[in-house]
Structure 1
Amino acid sequence: MDLELSTFIEYVNFFMFLLFALMYSYQMVYMFVAFQSKKKGMAEVQHGPLNRFAVIIAARNEELVIGHLISSIKNQNYPKEFLDVFVVADNCTDQTAQIAREAGAIVRERFNKAQVGKGYALDYMLKIIGRDYSSRKYDGFLVFDADNLLDENYIAEMNKTFNQGYKVVTSYRNSKNYDQNWISAGYALWFLHEAEYLNLPRMVLQSSCAISGTGFLVNKDVIKENGGWIHHLLTEDIEFSVSQIIKGEKIGYCKNAIFYDEQPATFSQSWNQRLRWAKGFYQVFAKYGRDLVSGIFQGKQNRFSCFDMTMTIMPAMLISCISILINGFFFTAGFFDLFGGKEIIEITSIAMLKSVVWYYGILFILGFITTVTEWKNIHCSNWKKIAYAITFPLFMFTYIPISVVALFRKVEWKPIAHTVVKSLDDVR
């Protein structure tokens, strides 16, 4: 085979890795900022006024877990007269609504098979609150998934950050089932990394954080300005975050507000969920990409936040897809005995293997550092903590085929079954 072609294949794979490393090199700065912040400790935030919050839970067939969530809300170290719990039982066929009512929540049932998804359920309940409970004058809305559990100081801590002037606040996402297997641990370790090595340094650097599905607080003015919850792409959380950043808002992070949620433990469920996320990222970039990129060059205070979110929703998946297409072309050519046949397959395989080793090394370092610094907050045996740091890169690698499939397949929202029934004491 032509030596130049062999060199070209190696250079292509190295270039893809180098491009990936350069694009995300700023996150290494994030890690140093996070280290310094952890070393010094976050400045103590004053309590400030007590705000009145409506807690909204969108639930679909969550009879096993919703009672524990409501119990953890009712047991908050926060005045009960400043909290109301609302549950929208969305297309439920079980006892979710009844159990939520018995636990003390205000429940509304919604049946709509055309508008399916969490965004529609949130909008439905927000409109009910605005119509039937406007006299209660809520200052903000806390949003949770039915499988969540809240640390007893969660809302008090969120209230402190809310009083700093942030109109949107996200929190520290821990896991109910870290110890279940490598899949649930892969999710959990990423969310811990996202909290402490993405959102924490963003907060320190006065950039914007991003909400992540659940465990966040939104000011009433944001909902009023938007006319409800208007985000209905497959990843309504990222869509909401991007839309706020484009407007110039900074999303805050409260590291002392800790909640726990359940992660998928089977590969089929994980595949379906992350396929929706990948497709949703593509949708968000298609809808907001122009404004995000424009914000990088034309924005004032939010230029870096626009860049950060652009990196979050697109390049990693795009680079992965391009790399697969290029290497797939050479594999196919070799199969049909073109460009040197078996030799080109061997060279392509070696080049890809080198890239995989480099990617594995970077992801392992990220996972290992997060494991060590969050050691006390990870609720499983010590040997599992180490084992799941080793398997973390493998979990992240599975995003590659998911990202490729998401490009071509029509994806619809599908519920994820939650079966880990634990109280807050059980988790801790």
Structure 2
Amino acid sequence: MGDIIYTVTATFQIFVFLITGYYLVLGFFGVYRKKDIKDYTPNNKFAMIVSAHDEEIVIGNLIESMQKQDYPKELYDIYVIADNCTDKTAEIAKGYNVTVCERNVDDKRGKGYALEWMFEKLFKMDKSYDSIAIFDADNLVHSDFLKEINSKMNQGYKVVQGYIDSKNPNDSWIATSYSIAFWSQNRLFQLSRNNIGLSNQIGGTGFSIATETLKELGWGATCLTEDLEFTCKIVLSGQKVGLAYDAKIYDEKPLKLKQSWIQRRRWMQGFTDVASRYCLKLMKKAVKERKWYIFDAALYVLQPFVTLLIGVAAVLTIIQAYAPSGDHIFIVSDLFSNVGFQIFALVQFIITPVILILDKKISKGFFAMMVLFSSNIIIMPLIIKGQSGMFMIGANFAFYATFLLATLIILGKKSVIFFIRFLLYSIYTVTWIPITIQGILRKNNKEWNPTKHVRNVEVYDVN
């Protein structure tokens, strides 16, 4: 029995090790900023579209930020879709002298349907646009957004994703966790792909599509993750999604675990749906044309299943620890000596703070404290080696208490709070496993559950 458990565990561990190893190597290419040649010649006329459902609290600030673009005013127009609204969203938006299109279709709710409806209206207008930029109602848009997107499109890209930042990173531990996750993904997933010539991923908001490309491929993306579906269509058409790293939009993050759970479950439902319809197509095209960027896109849509396998591998590892002894086959940790594994864990822990300081999300002092804290991965095992359980608990408690006190004295209360939330980020990460399981099981449930937005933040509060 022990041999069987070891063999099964080894299989999962090897697969998970290869996948995580691939993303770790890919992430290293995001540590640096590849020099981007900027051409700010305003060659594109934009339609900036917002899909809004009962967003009276946030819609005004978004429109104000969109109207302050450092881009010729005659080269962009703003459209707000008041989608099945029961509040004052449409009324407020009209007060800003933008075009408001009210949509009331009970049986086709959701952002994907609303955008498809709006695209058809735009295509029939006498006024024409070179590109269509998409935003969520809770966003704030940096004044350089269109200028940077236009610059990237001047390089030949038909679809360009901007940098999705956070407008409320300090509101709660969940909001902080979301922010850390997005900051990390911007650099380790998006920028790394941009640096080595892979396709980026559309992030649901803060992106622009050339009108000709949209007409050619058709939107048709009305699932729960319409952004991922359209990314697959772009890659299958032989194109790549570009990244405008300096085109920033600020997105409101959920405040509570329940809100976060529902939103991320919806993402995983959509991911599973898209994976079932596009993964094999991408794999076949990647093999046929021998293009790695297409294969990378196929791996990306498998995210729910990779997350699930990581969870299974973790559970099997725990079972293995308590299983009857048998012939030891192989486990991934055998690749490392104790010191080697500790160094590997140290790199895994410290890589996120490295990303945060590169994008100036934390101070140099806080980064130094994080590096000092991470040393316990190597130092603490030496201190507690051969000691009793009570000594181990006491030593760890003393270390954490001393570190928190030192952080409070040197860096202040805000840094202590952020540090605690940084540690809680691991809990946020673990919750992806049950959320993913639910998402896979609910793949065919297309009910849209929008996140309620409550933060009335203005653009100067985040710039």
- TM-score interval, smaller chain: 0.7 to 0.9
Partner of 1:317: 304
Partner of 2:2: 6
Give distance in 2, aligned partners of 1:361 and 1:392: 16
Aligned residue for 1:159, secondary structure, equals: helix
Question: For residues 21-420 of structure 1, what are the structure 2 equivalents within 5 Å?
Answer: 21-37=17-33, 42-131=35-124, 133=125, 135-227=126-218, 229-300=219-290, 303-314=291-302, 316-322=303-309, 344=323, 364-376=349-361, 381-409=414-442, 411=445, 412-420=447-455
Residue by residue over 1:373-404, the C-alpha shift from the partner in whole angstroms, topping out at 9 and shown as x without a partner, is: 223479x9444443333222321111100111
Give distance in 1, aligned partners of 2:54 and 2:433: 31
8 Å Cα contact 1:371-1:385 kept in structure 2: no
8 Å Cα contact 2:31-2:355 kept in structure 1: no
Pairing 1:423–2:458 present: yes
8 Å Cα contact 2:271-2:301 kept in structure 1: yes
Please identify, of 178-187 and 6-15, the stretch whose mean Cα deviation from structure 2 is larger: 6-15
State the Cα distance separating 1:136 from its structure 2 match: 2.3
8 Å Cα contact 1:169-1:216 kept in structure 2: yes
Give distance in 1, aligned partners of 2:13 and 2:348: 13
Give distance in 1, aligned partners of 2:110 and 2:324: 44
User: Aligned pair in 2 of structure 1 residues 143, 389: CA closer, same or farther (>3 Å)?
Assistant: same
Aligned residue for 1:260, secondary structure, equals: strand
Aligned length: 401
Task: Write the letter of the residue equivalent to 1:391.
Answer: L
Give distance in 2, aligned partners of 1:319 and 1:148: 30
Partner of 2:376: none
8 Å Cα contact 2:84-2:103 kept in structure 1: yes
Report the structure number with the largest CA radius of gyration. Answer: 2
User: Aligned pair in 2 of structure 1 residues 408, 31: CA closer, same or farther (>3 Å)?
Assistant: closer
8 Å Cα contact 1:363-1:393 kept in structure 2: no
8 Å Cα contact 1:157-1:254 kept in structure 2: yes
User: Aligned pair in 2 of structure 1 residues 105, 363: CA closer, same or farther (>3 Å)?
Assistant: farther
State the Cα distance separating 1:99 from its structure 2 match: 0.6
8 Å Cα contact 2:174-2:428 kept in structure 1: yes
Give distance in 1, aligned partners of 2:314 and 2:362: 41
Task: Write the letter of the residue equivalent to 2:355.
Answer: T
State the Cα distance separating 1:322 from its structure 2 match: 4.9
Task: Give the TM-score normalised by the residue count of structure 1.
Answer: 0.85
Aligned residue for 1:34, secondary structure, equals: coil
User: Aligned pair in 2 of structure 1 residues 326, 43: CA closer, same or farther (>3 Å)?
Assistant: closer
8 Å Cα contact 1:371-1:389 kept in structure 2: no
User: Aligned pair in 2 of structure 1 residues 29, 326: CA closer, same or farther (>3 Å)?
Assistant: closer
Give distance in 1, aligned partners of 2:269 and 2:352: 25
Give distance in 2, aligned partners of 1:17 and 1:329: 9
Give distance in 2, aligned partners of 1:91 and 1:6: 58
Give distance in 2, aligned partners of 1:225 and 1:256: 28
Aligned residue for 2:30, secondary structure, equals: helix
Aligned residue for 1:62, secondary structure, equals: coil
Partner of 2:393: none
State the Cα distance separating 1:310 from its structure 2 match: 2.0
RMSD: 3.1
8 Å Cα contact 2:190-2:200 kept in structure 1: yes
Aligned residue for 1:144, secondary structure, equals: strand
Task: Write the letter of the residue equivalent to 1:321.
Answer: L
Residue by residue over 1:164-185, the C-alpha shift from the partner in whole angstroms, topping out at 9 and shown as x without a partner, is: 1100000111101111122112
Please identify, of 120-129 and 368-377, the stretch whose mean Cα deviation from structure 2 is larger: 368-377
8 Å Cα contact 1:87-1:107 kept in structure 2: yes
Identity within the alignment, %: 32
State the Cα distance separating 1:312 from its structure 2 match: 1.5
Give distance in 2, aligned partners of 1:375 and 1:402: 31
Give distance in 2, aligned partners of 1:149 and 1:330: 44
Give distance in 2, aligned partners of 1:22 and 1:43: 31
User: Aligned pair in 2 of structure 1 residues 12, 414: CA closer, same or farther (>3 Å)?
Assistant: same
Give distance in 1, aligned partners of 2:439 and 2:78: 36
Partner of 2:15: 19
Task: Write the letter of the residue equivalent to 2:292.
Answer: F
Aligned residue for 1:152, secondary structure, equals: coil
Residue by residue over 1:56-96, the C-alpha shift from the partner in whole angstroms, topping out at 9 and shown as x without a partner, is: 00000000001101100111111111110001111110000
8 Å Cα contact 1:330-1:344 kept in structure 2: no
Task: Give the TM-score normalised by the residue count of structure 2.
Answer: 0.79
User: Aligned pair in 2 of structure 1 residues 311, 387: CA closer, same or farther (>3 Å)?
Assistant: farther
